[in-house]
Amino acid sequence: MDVEEFTKIFRKKGLKLTTQRLEIFKSIISRNDHPTTEKIYKSLKYKYPTISLGTVYKTLHLFKELGLIQELNFSEDTIRYDPNTDFHINMICSKCGKIIDYNNDKVKAIWETILSDLKFKPKGQRIDIYYDCEDCEKKED
Percentage, residues of the chain above pLDDT 70:
99
Say if residue 59's pLDDT is above 80. Answer: yes
Q: What's the whole-model pTM score? A: 0.83
Q: What is the reported pLDDT for 32?
A: 84
Q: String of b and e for 59-86 (b: at least 16 CB within 10 Å)?
A: bbebbbeeebbbebeeeeeebbbbbeee
Say if residue 141's pLDDT is above 80. Answer: no
Say if residue 75's pLDDT is above 80. Answer: no
User: 119 falls in which pLDDT band (50, 70, 90)?
Assistant: confident
Say if residue 98's pLDDT is above 80. Answer: yes
For 20-33, how does the pLDDT look when each residue is reduced to its tens digit (9 = 90+)?
999 999 999 998 88
* H-helix segments, the chain: 3-13, 19-29, 37-45, 53-65, 105-117, 134-140
Domains of the chain: 3-82 (1.10.10.10), 89-140 (3.30.1490.190)
Q: What average pLDDT does this structure show over 53-77?
A: 90
Residue 25: is it exposed, middle or buried by C-beta count within 10 angstroms (0-12/13-18/19+)? buried
Q: What is the reported pLDDT for 140?
A: 79
Say if residue 87's pLDDT is above 80. Answer: yes
Q: What is the reported pLDDT for 63?
A: 95
Nearest to 98 by CA among 63, 75, 68, 128: 128
